[in-house]
Structure 1
Amino acid sequence: MSLIPRLGALLALFLLTACAPSLHVMSFNVRYPSDQGPQPWAVRRPVMVNLIREARPDLIGTQELFQRQGDDLVRALPGYRWFGRDRRGEHADEHMGIFYRPDRLRLVHSGDFWLSDTPEQPGSMSWGTDLPRLASWGIFDTRGARPHRFLFIDTHLAHREQDAAARARAAALIVGQLPVLAGDLPIILAGDMNARPDSGAYRAFVAALADAREHAARRRGPKMTFHDFTGVPDRRIDYLFTRGFAVIAAETHTYHQGSVYPSDHFPVSATLRFTSDRRPN
């Protein structure tokens, strides 16, 4: 391509992204609501509320969320709603709860599938995992005069050292579901992947999607995300992956109050802008 057509294409992309709506999205392993130990939910809850209130994401994919945590959060943050089922298809265990701001987004469709050989079967397990794992998803429209439609998926992969092959299989399953759920829509995938960037699971994701932090124009906060309530992270396992977006900024949030952290993971967020003009029909 000669210089003039290339400059024209770049100018067209700049104008499209400059006029397109932006999204602020977050992935957050919130840690289950233990009432025991030095960091019980009652102590962490107001710190988490303040973090979300300050960050103001439009959309949050959570992991390890129990229903009472989700209800606590929307009670304290009435500008949000949440949905999702737990790992057994009900509401008594851990959810991949998806929170969104209805003033910014309209939920069109939602659903879930299990990370197994029978993804339509609630609570199903495969590949030697010790717990059911799932992905929850929603199709959203942005609100405003020029709405854009996109797919958001939230997941939590198997956690044990010996589950590396299962994580890779789960990642391949999720990637395989993208054409079914999204077609050519833009995509955001959030999750605690329990997988580092040198893993098979990570390679499966980046073969189809972009790692938001790696593609961000600006970055803030540490690359590592799991800190075990110490404030000193030692591994990167929490991610946002995208398709059809320019990543304006990415951040790892280290907010805490004194020695109290909202979770044993730092949440990660990204500010995104649509790069296509795909609209609701």
Structure 2
Amino acid sequence: MSIPISVRILSTWVCSTVLFGSMILSKPLLTDAKDVRVMSFNIRYGSARDGENHWEKRKENVIKTIAAFNPDLLGTQETLGFQKQYLDENLIGYTSLGVGREDGGQTGEMTALFYKTDRFEKLSEGHFWLSESPNSPGSKSWDSSLPRMCSWIKLRDRKADDQPIFFLNTHFDHRGPQARIESAKLIRHKLDELARGCRLIVTGDFNAAFQSEPYKALFENTKELTLLDSYHTATPDNAPGEATFSGFKSGVVEGARIDWIAVSDDWKILSANIDRTEFDGRTPSDHHPVTAILTHE
């Protein structure tokens, strides 16, 4: 089955699968138009020497995977400038935000995020670095091996004009254990500083497993701030393995869930899944995207 690159999928999608030729995607089911569909996707930086899995050989599959879920809000990680441009050109109906982690311009990977233009009105936006100098582009601290950052946006939902949504997307360091803990603490501090009165959505590649120290630091709830792990909240205990790093191999389920969607407790989590879409036995990235469908009264 041939699917155009620039495509808008009008049906919605959940965790069961359907086979189209050699492409396995999620099976469509209708959901309410007011629900908020969220996806977090580490798309693997496009300059990596990945051979048969190089960006040029899989970029169309990245678009197909995103379009199939049809997110209202999309957080991407490891997104270089030319990859962001490709997504901008091939995802219909989205506005994007992202800057390079090295200089706050176009240099280095971005934590680029996307939102549906006709649904949301931008109220404010920004970026900060995961360091002791968060307002300094390219800064790093603790034992971080590289500059790491967050991009965020505050939105008004035209379908539910009652409370703004604060959407933050990030990527934690892959080597520094202390940096991951401190980054989680910094994000909680920034949510309190920037997002009061908002419904919260946090997406990212956290390079840490369920119940790890960074996980506990992010989800250590207080009376001021309660965050829910959407997948853990919505998934039964007898669910299959929850690996989100695939290494480009299809069917990988055993391993750590290092990609998360966190939400404030004023959301109702209708579903949360690990999207194991594959094409001819290969995944569109070396991470499975993760998804959640949210609603509120």
Moved over 4 A (4+): 217-222
**Which residue does the alignment assign to 1:191?**
204
**Which residue does the alignment assign to 1:241?**
262
Q: Which has the higher contact order (CA 8 A, sep 6+)?
A: 1
1:73 lines up with 2:92 in the alignment: no
* Bigger mean CA deviation after superposition, 34-43 or 237-246: 34-43
Distance in 2, Cα, partners of 1:263 & 1:274: 32
1:90 lines up with 2:105 in the alignment: yes
**Which residue does the alignment assign to 1:272?**
294
1:63 lines up with 2:71 in the alignment: no
1:228 lines up with 2:247 in the alignment: yes
Segments of structure 2 that go 5 or more residues without pairing to the other structure are 1-31, 222-226
**Which residue does the alignment assign to 1:200?**
213
2:142 aligned to 105, 127, 137, which one?
A: 127
Distance in 2, Cα, partners of 1:148 & 1:141: 7
Distance in 2, Cα, partners of 1:205 & 1:20: 30
What CA RMSD, in Å, does the superposition of the two structures yield over aligned residues?
A: 2.1
Alpha-carbon distance, 1:78 to partner: 2.3
Q: Secondary structure at the match of 2:208?
A: coil
Do the aligned residues in 2 keep the contact of 1:29 with 1:62 (CA within 8 Å)?
yes
Matched AA of 1:273: T
Matched AA of 1:272: L
Structure 1 residues 78 and 239, CA, compared in 2 at 3 Å: closer, same or farther? same
Alpha-carbon distance, 1:92 to partner: 2.4
**CA offset digits 1:130-182 (Å, max 9, x no partner):** 1100111000111136454110110000101xx11110011001111111111
Relative to the length of structure 2, the TM-score reads 0.81
Segments of structure 1 that go 5 or more residues without pairing to the other structure are 1-18, 276-281
Distance in 2, Cα, partners of 1:217 & 1:262: 24
Alpha-carbon distance, 1:74 to partner: 2.1
Do the aligned residues in 2 keep the contact of 1:155 with 1:191 (CA within 8 Å)?
yes
Distance in 1, Cα, partners of 2:164 & 2:57: 38
Alpha-carbon distance, 1:235 to partner: 1.7
Matched AA of 1:203: K
Alpha-carbon distance, 1:222 to partner: 5.0
1:25 aligned to 22, 34, 38, which one?
A: 38
Matched AA of 2:242: K
Do the aligned residues in 2 keep the contact of 1:221 with 1:253 (CA within 8 Å)?
no
From the two aligned structures, give the one with the greater helix fraction.
1
Structure 1 residues 48 and 222, CA, compared in 2 at 3 Å: closer, same or farther? farther
Matched AA of 2:137: P
Do the aligned residues in 1 keep the contact of 2:249 with 2:282 (CA within 8 Å)?
no
Distance in 2, Cα, partners of 1:50 & 1:78: 12
Q: Secondary structure at the match of 2:173?
A: coil
Distance in 2, Cα, partners of 1:46 & 1:75: 12
Matched AA of 1:236: R
**Which residue does the alignment assign to 1:5?**
none
Distance in 2, Cα, partners of 1:256 & 1:69: 20
Matched AA of 1:25: V
Matched AA of 2:198: L
- Count residues with an aligned counterpart: 256
Distance in 2, Cα, partners of 1:66 & 1:28: 13
Relative to the length of structure 1, the TM-score reads 0.86
Q: Secondary structure at the match of 1:242?
A: strand
**Which residue does the alignment assign to 2:154?**
139
Do the aligned residues in 1 keep the contact of 2:129 with 2:147 (CA within 8 Å)?
yes
**Which residue does the alignment assign to 2:58?**
44
**Which residue does the alignment assign to 2:115?**
100
Distance in 2, Cα, partners of 1:102 & 1:158: 31
Structure 1 residues 59 and 222, CA, compared in 2 at 3 Å: closer, same or farther? farther
**Which residue does the alignment assign to 1:210?**
228
Do the aligned residues in 2 keep the contact of 1:117 with 1:125 (CA within 8 Å)?
yes
Q: Which has the larger radius of gyration?
A: 1
Alpha-carbon distance, 1:29 to partner: 0.5
% identical equivalent positions:
36
Do the aligned residues in 2 keep the contact of 1:31 with 1:64 (CA within 8 Å)?
yes
2:178 aligned to 159, 165, 173, which one?
A: 165
